[in-house]
Amino acid sequence: MSAQISDLQARCTFPPAGTAVDCAVSGGPDSLALLVLATGAGCQVTAWHVDHGLRPGSAAEADVVAQAAARWGAAFETCTAHCQPGPNLEARARAARYEVLPQGVLTGHTADDQAETVLLNLIRGAGLDGLAGIDPARRPLLALRRRETQALCDAVGLQPVQDPSNLDPAHRRNRIRHELLPLLCDIAERDVVPIIVRSAGLMGGIRDLLDELASAIDPADAKGVAEAPEPLAQMALRRWIRRETGDEHPPDSAAIKRVLAVARNEARSTEIGGGWRVTRSSQRLGLQR
């Protein structure tokens, strides 16, 4: 068992032994594996469980996490972030979790989550940010597979919580997980998850390079934006709008193209969604509610 843990830890990206870390632990196999591997790496772990109150008896799932934390020598904290059933539940629950979890919390996302996220972003028309997938920061298990986290739980005798919502086809991610990815593997006659993950890494490198080059552009300088190479101008505008509005996701490509039209004096202003408008005055771009 120790050899299995050591093998998995070698592929993880935990901070040095003795570092205090917070881990989001729902009680599922990925997050329980995160708890086991983080403590095995010598980190001083606090396991955080969030109850969304979406299922009868969901509060009892905290007991699973508390017992696992005690067994592996981690501290334990629990909090609530209630969400009402309805549209866009996954995104709302995620936002609610991060509001109550400590800043910099580690999560148990795996390579399978990365592949699903890239495909989700692809079909919604995301740009480089979306095709780069999940940011590896604070995701130390991103090189592991879901089957490995389950196997680790089995090996150490942990019984993960089974969330029935993970089988609900009403959630698009579940259809990608249970329908699209198996179909892609069948068509390709190979496991496509490593291929998608590798592509996400390449896209992330390209995004980071463009981001560095775009940092030389003042996104509020309409003339400078209009004269810059379009990929760099788009990157500068995305970063500026995301920073100023505080939105989790940057505007879509259609909105950015409209902002470029404003910078080129082809339009006086444009809506970019979320109740925001970009205007131009005296060769300066501005954001208004």
Find the helix or strand (DSSP H, E) in which 210 lies. Answer: helix 193-214
- Residues 207 and 91 reside in one and the same domain: no
34 token code pair: 């995160």
- Residue 171 and residue 210: Cα distance in Å, rounded? 33
- Residues 207 and 260 reside in one and the same domain: no
Q: What's at 180, amino acid-wise?
A: L
- Residues 101 and 115 reside in one and the same domain: no
Identify the CATH number of the domain in which residue 244 sits.
3.30.465
Using an 8 Å Cβ cutoff, are 270 and 289 in contact? no
47 token code pair: 């396991």
Identify the CATH number of the domain in which residue 103 sits.
3.40.50.620
- Residues 8 and 88 reside in one and the same domain: yes
- Residues 15 and 84 reside in one and the same domain: yes
What is the predicted pLDDT for the residue at 122? Answer: 92
HSE (side-chain half, CA atoms, 13 Å) at 60: 7
What is the predicted pLDDT for the residue at 211? Answer: 93
Query: Which range marks the domain in which residue 31 is found?
Result: 2-109+145-161
- Residues 155 and 62 reside in one and the same domain: yes
Q: Measuring CA to CA, which residue among 68, 29, 58 is closest to residue 48?
A: 68
- Residue 90 and residue 165: Cα distance in Å, rounded? 10
- Residues 186 and 123 reside in one and the same domain: yes
Contacts of 94 (CB under 8 A, 6+ apart): none
Using an 8 Å Cβ cutoff, are 127 and 253 in contact? yes
Q: What's at 224, amino acid-wise?
A: G
Using an 8 Å Cβ cutoff, are 98 and 80 in contact? no
Angle between helices 146-156 and 2-9 (to 10 degrees): 150
- Residue 46 and residue 19: Cα distance in Å, rounded? 11
- Residues 222 and 261 reside in one and the same domain: yes
- Residues 18 and 104 reside in one and the same domain: yes
Count the domains in the chain.
3
- Residues 235 and 273 reside in one and the same domain: yes
Using an 8 Å Cβ cutoff, are 112 and 146 in contact? yes
What is the predicted pLDDT for the residue at 165? Answer: 78
What is the predicted pLDDT for the residue at 91? Answer: 73
Alpha helix (H) residue ranges in 101-178: 111-123, 128-131, 146-156, 172-175
pLDDT (tens, 9 = 90+) of the chain, 289 residues, equals 577 888 999 999 999 999 999 999 999 999 999 999 999 999 999 999 998 766 666 677 899 999 999 999 999 999 887 776 666 767 777 778 888 899 999 999 999 999 999 999 999 878 888 899 999 999 999 999 999 999 999 999 999 998 887 888 888 999 999 999 999 999 999 999 999 999 999 999 999 999 999 999 999 999 999 999 999 999 999 999 999 998 877 788 889 999 999 999 999 999 998 899 999 999 999 999 8
- Residues 54 and 85 reside in one and the same domain: yes
- Residues 155 and 52 reside in one and the same domain: yes
Taking the model in full, what pTM does it have? 0.88
What is the predicted pLDDT for the residue at 56? Answer: 67
